[in-house]
Amino acid sequence: MSYRGPEFDDLQPRRPRRGALTVAVAALVPGALLGWLVYEAVGDSGGSGGTPGQASGASASAHPSSSASPTDAPASDAKEPSASPTPSAAAPLKGRVVVIDPGHNPGNFQHTADINRKVHIGTNWKECDTTGTSTHDGYTEARFTLDVAHRLRTLLRERGATVKLTQDGDRPYGPCIDERAKIGNAAKADAVVSIHADGSGAGNRGFHVILPASVHKGTADTRPIVGPSRDLGERIAGSFVRLTGSAPSNYVGNGTGLVTRQDLGGLNLSTVPKVFIECGNMRDSKDAALLTSGAWRQKAAQGISEGIVSFLRG
């Protein structure tokens, strides 16, 4: 499996310096050094009306992520219109639609009869939904998926994307798996990600991304989305490894972190690129320690987000 990432322009070879230029620069260095020493000797005596460094403090606060000192760039740079990012750079996903599908629903436990009714998934009938799994301490998959979905929504909106959730804990149960697919289709989403956590046995660790198989049966036809969905899944898997430090599943996917399935209605009924991600195994104590950590869930959201951004930017 290949994980795609950003590409960089080749470095251009430097032109050889002229001898005369070297001599001229050498002649200027003592003068510049002398000027700096004079400035240091008198600089504290005033002129700006403030304490040393006060004038550059505004520039530093305007660029909180910069590790450079305020004197590394003129303060006027922050006011220069040309220094501002272009609209496409500031919002690279503007005009793009992403649907996030938080698996299950916290209310499913109180509506077992409703979620057990059968719906058609294109090839056969299957239960509307399930309650999902939980850690041994009772932290439910439904709570986990909503938390990660909220974090992911914030990250994608910051990049300019229009983000929709299939559910936001705002309904008594569900939606059913067929309706979840319809929501993504109706939104004409550029990408859909269904968030889950697994409930496998202890000792089974790691994440895996589930891709749609090529299905052409009944009302299901995934053939147009198989290719782009794999691309989306590979990019999410690559960034998830990088940003969370988690390894691909040691129990499915043969170490690739990718699994192809043809029995999931959410994939079979989708007409837009879609994948599932099982972020870890809630029934393993080591994975559970990660899944219940807010700091790790933020990393998980970042990993999924970066994969989506990479896919949509091509």
Q: Which residues are catalytic?
A: 278
Residue 263, φ and ψ in degrees, nearest 5: -110, 10
Confirm if 126 and 261 have CB atoms less than 8 A apart. no
User: H-type helices in 87-205, by residue range?
Assistant: 87-90, 112-116, 141-158, 177-186
Q: Coil, strand or helix: which one is 146?
A: helix
Between CA 166 and CA 209 the distance in angstroms is 19
Q: What are phi and psi of 240, to 5 degrees?
A: -65, -45
* Degrees to nearest 5, angle at CA 100 with 257 and 233: 25
If residue 260 lies in a helix (H) or strand (E), which one and from where to where?
Answer: strand 258-261
